[in-house]
């Protein structure tokens, strides 16, 4: 999947990224974060739906869908790839969950200091 970045109203921190899947369907994502696990870069992307679609379709019970994709360099450009290896995916998800736990602990500590 090859991304193209389209500025999100001039805000560079959260570019909208377009990827094209194997069937030629274009999907829109917003970059949330970029992480490195074992020397490999990954993008945490908020799914915005298919091109031309007003609202993204997400699974029942979820308000948003976050997608994790591997970032590789091809011809000097960053390319986003689906993670098909289950062990690699599990390792990245565990890393993200640990980051969230650390963020929660920091918030709790800050609230305790302010009270």
The span from the CA of 106 to the CA of 23, in Å, is 43
Q: Are 11 and 31 in contact (CB under 8 A)?
A: no
In a domain, 79, yes or no: yes
Give whole-number Cα distances, 92 to 18, 29, 109, in Å.
22, 19, 26
In a domain, 99, yes or no: no
In a domain, 35, yes or no: yes
* Percent of the chain whose pLDDT exceeds 90: 35
Q: If you count them, how many residues does the chain have?
A: 115
In a domain, 54, yes or no: yes
User: By residue range, what is the domain housing residue 74?
Assistant: 4-83
Q: 35-83, pLDDT tens digit by residue?
A: 999 999 999 999 888 876 655 555 444 457 888 999 999 999 988 999 9
In a domain, 17, yes or no: yes
In a domain, 115, yes or no: no
In a domain, 106, yes or no: no
Residue 7 predicted with pLDDT over 50: no
Which pLDDT band holds residue 108 (cuts at 50, 70, 90)? Answer: low
In a domain, 63, yes or no: yes
User: pTM for this structure?
Assistant: 0.67
- Overall number of domains in the chain: 1
């Amino acid at each position: 999947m090859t991304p193209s970045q389209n500025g999100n109203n001039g805000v560079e921190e959260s570019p909208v990224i377009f990827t094209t899947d194997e069937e030629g369907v274009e999907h829109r994502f917003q970059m949330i974060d970029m992480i490195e696990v074992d020397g490999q870069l990954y993008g945490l992307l908020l799914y915005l739906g298919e091109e031309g679609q007003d609202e993204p379709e997400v699974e029942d019970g979820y308000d948003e869908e976050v997608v994790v994709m591997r970032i590789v360099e091809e011809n000097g450009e960053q390319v986003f790839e689906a993670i098909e290896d289950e062990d690699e995916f599990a390792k990245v998800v565990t890393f993200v969950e640990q980051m969230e736990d650390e963020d929660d602990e920091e918030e709790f500590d800050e609230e305790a200091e302010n009270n």
